[in-house]
C-alpha cells in the first residue's frame, strides 16, 4: 500500500510541471529577463578592456535593473551619477535597442545603445549615437559591457 502511495505521489509531482512564473505562464520577455542584479564582467572603451571578477562581491561593480529603474552599485553603494536612471528596451528592433535616461538635477540626457540578452549574459553597447553593431570596436564616444546575471528578480 505504501509503495502505491509513493508511486502516485511521484507520478503527481512528475506530471504537475513547473510552477507558473511571475509572467503568468507566458514566456518571459527581455524586459522580464533583464530584471535583477548583474555583475559587470568586462568593459571595453577606446582605451582598452577592463575586466572585473564576478567574485569581487564587495569591490566589484554590479548593475541592478528593477522595474524601469537602472542602478549601478560599486562597493555596496549606489554610484551618485547612476541613482536616477531609467531604461527602455526595444527587443523588436532588427538590432535590439536599450536607452538609459539619466537625470542629474534638472538636466536629463539619454544614452542610446544596443544589446544582446542570451541566458545569463547581457552585452550592452552604449554611445552618444546609437551603435549599429555589437561586434564594432568602441571609439571615444562609445563603450561596451558584458554582464552576468547574479540574482534574478523574477
Q: What is the pLDDT of residues 72-107, one digit of tens each?
A: 888 788 888 777 899 999 999 999 999 999 988 888
Residues near 45 by beta carbon (within 8 Å), at least 6 away in sequence = 138, 142, 143
Each domain of the chain, given as residue ranges in start order, spans 28-152
Contact 120/103 with Cβ under 8 angstroms?
no
What is the DSSP pairing of strand 69-74 with strand 121-127?
unpaired
The pLDDT of residue 56 is: 46
The pLDDT of residue 5 is: 26
What cell numbers appear for 53 in the block? Answer: 571578477
Q: What is the CATH number of domain 28-152?
A: 2.40.128
> Using one digit for the tens of pLDDT, what is the confidence trace for 101-115?
998 888 889 999 999
> Using one digit for the tens of pLDDT, what is the confidence trace for 19-60?
334 556 688 999 999 999 999 888 888 777 776 554 444 447
Amino acid at each position: 500500500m505504501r509503495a502505491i502511495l509513493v508511486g502516485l505521489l511521484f507520478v503527481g509531482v512528475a506530471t504537475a510541471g513547473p510552477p507558473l512564473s511571475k509572467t503568468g505562464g507566458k514566456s518571459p520577455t527581455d524586459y522580464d529577463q533583464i530584471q535583477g542584479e548583474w555583475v559587470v564582467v568586462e568593459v571595453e572603451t577606446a582605451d582598452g578592456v577592463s575586466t572585473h571578477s564576478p567574485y569581487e562581491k564587495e569591490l566589484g561593480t554590479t548593475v541592478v535593473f528593477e522595474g524601469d529603474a537602472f542602478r549601478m552599485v560599486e562597493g555596496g553603494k549606489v554610484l551618485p551619477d547612476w541613482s536616477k536612471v531609467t531604461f527602455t528596451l526595444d527587443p523588436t528592433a532588427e538590432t535590439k535597442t536599450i536607452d538609459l535616461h539619466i537625470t542629474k538635477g534638472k538636466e536629463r540626457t539619454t544614452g542610446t545603445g544596443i544589446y544582446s540578452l542570451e541566458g545569463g549574459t547581457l552585452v550592452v553597447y552604449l554611445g552618444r549615437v546609437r551603435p549599429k553593431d555589437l561586434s564594432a570596436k568602441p571609439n571615444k564616444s562609445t563603450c561596451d559591457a558584458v554582464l552576468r546575471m547574479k540574482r534574478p528578480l523574477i
